[in-house]
Structure 1
């Protein structure tokens, strides 16, 4: 069965503005969200679980909206997407994604006390090449 999908340009025309509206809505109601989640967190197992989740969600939305704004600028500056396949623009996209993931993981480490444990010898890994990581959840939760 073939899925009835809108063209890519139409999907982007719907989802990107919706994400911006969602971010502005979440940001405008941030004090309310934080107060409500701080209060409700008292009755949920875990230390400030809902409060931390609300904070991380708003932070993720902020990073996503910021990255989309930069990507839109890239699209404009590359001649409305004509030169996005050039090495220079690909490098900018990879650097933006690396920045996005560094910020997101740094926040996850602080917000959720996220830690990583490496097993085995990792000294011979070539970091210039893509790496497949197989992980498992080994926490108490």
Structure 2
């Protein structure tokens, strides 16, 4: 059940500011204690790295909340005015700054290196983008959004899980920018969700990027099995057989993608994104064991011109989507780390 908006604004956000402030005030003590404890621990100073990342999260979360409150005051405490184009630009600049800081610090303390492969997403400048991204491993949405905002100067419109609204900064920020929080299991509200996705994809301009994760959730072997079984129960045996052959990705949910294709401008190119390097990290224990990660993450882009994207035929669009997800699965098979456990 979604958290009521007034609870998130009146209770959760102010409470988060108080808790984060308290944590940061006492952080020197925590760092000293952790530093002493970690002396006797094996594991390449894992505990210190975790505490530093938690500290960074607290600083950025608190900074975001205070900045967002300041922008609301600057807009005259008007929920409508704070969403006008000039204030949206200021919000996107705030997003760019936060992502840049987090990206640099994560790279430094986790020893991560991100490389890109494939066509440049800005090969067709001045045209809107529909971005379809594989969802697996920690931080993939963060890496993608950072690339779109800071490298390609795009303004993303993101479809994401409604549970992300538990984070006060994400809740306030993305509810002011074009985005949609949806349930990963909409049930009877499926049509309403697709209508929301269509509304979000409508009116994309030359520097917009509509971002959706067709799988609907992070890849896990258990989730893959459940989706295949669900397809079989629904009588979608052909889709189930194709899903069984894809061992690194989940079968895509086509409803949102089809709605986006039909609502987006006809000149919108499609960017497909896959990545590998962290996809074997399925649990908190996996992440802890790998710290510091000392890894290279490869992000692979495929850019499909608007003229090659099927329009007006949902059946062809579903077939097109499954074909590309099979291509992505093949690419991951060729590039995933030897430690991957599909």
Provide closer, same or farther for how the CA distance between residues 118 and 82 of structure 1 changes in structure 2, counting only shifts above 3 A.
closer
* Alignment match, 1:119: 117
Provide closer, same or farther for how the CA distance between residues 137 and 41 of structure 1 changes in structure 2, counting only shifts above 3 A.
farther
Could you tell me which of 67, 91, 94 is aligned with 2:92?
A: 94
Quote the RMSD (CA, aligned, Å): 2.5
Provide closer, same or farther for how the CA distance between residues 136 and 43 of structure 1 changes in structure 2, counting only shifts above 3 A.
farther
Could you tell me which of 266, 271, 274 is aligned with 1:134?
A: 274
Q: How far 1:71 moved relative to its partner?
A: 0.7
Q: How far 1:78 moved relative to its partner?
A: 1.2
Preserved CA contact (<8 Å) 1:41 1:47: no
Could you tell me which of 48, 52, 63 is aligned with 2:49?
A: 52
Give the structure with the higher percent helix.
1
Provide closer, same or farther for how the CA distance between residues 87 and 22 of structure 1 changes in structure 2, counting only shifts above 3 A.
same
Q: How far 1:43 moved relative to its partner?
A: 4.7
Preserved CA contact (<8 Å) 1:84 1:90: yes
* Alignment match, 2:232: none
Structure 2: how far apart are the matches of 1:6 and 1:101?
26
Provide closer, same or farther for how the CA distance between residues 119 and 41 of structure 1 changes in structure 2, counting only shifts above 3 A.
farther
- Give the 4+ runs in structure 1 shifted more than 4 A: none
Query: Relative CO higher for 1 or 2, CA cutoff 8 Å, sep ≥ 6?
Result: 2
Provide closer, same or farther for how the CA distance between residues 125 and 116 of structure 1 changes in structure 2, counting only shifts above 3 A.
farther
Structure 2: how far apart are the matches of 1:6 and 1:38?
38
Q: How far 1:37 moved relative to its partner?
A: 1.9
Provide closer, same or farther for how the CA distance between residues 121 and 21 of structure 1 changes in structure 2, counting only shifts above 3 A.
same
* Alignment match, 2:62: 65
* Alignment match, 2:107: 109
Give the structure with the higher percent strand.
2
Deviates more, 1:39-48 or 1:57-66: 39-48
Could you tell me which of 13, 18, 28 is aligned with 1:16?
A: 13
Preserved CA contact (<8 Å) 2:34 2:47: yes
Preserved CA contact (<8 Å) 2:34 2:48: yes
Preserved CA contact (<8 Å) 2:17 2:65: no
Could you tell me which of 21, 30, 33 is aligned with 2:27?
A: 30
Structure 2: how far apart are the matches of 1:134 and 1:79?
42
Relative to the length of structure 2, the TM-score reads 0.37
Relative to the length of structure 1, the TM-score reads 0.81
Post-superposition Cα deviations, 1:73-104, rounded to whole Å, max 9, x if no partner, equal 11121121231221101101111011111111
Structure showing greater Rg: 2
Question: Mind listing any 5+ residue stretches in structure 2 that lack a counterpart?
Answer: 126-151, 155-207, 210-270, 281-288, 291-342
Aligned residues: 138
Q: How far 1:125 moved relative to its partner?
A: 6.7
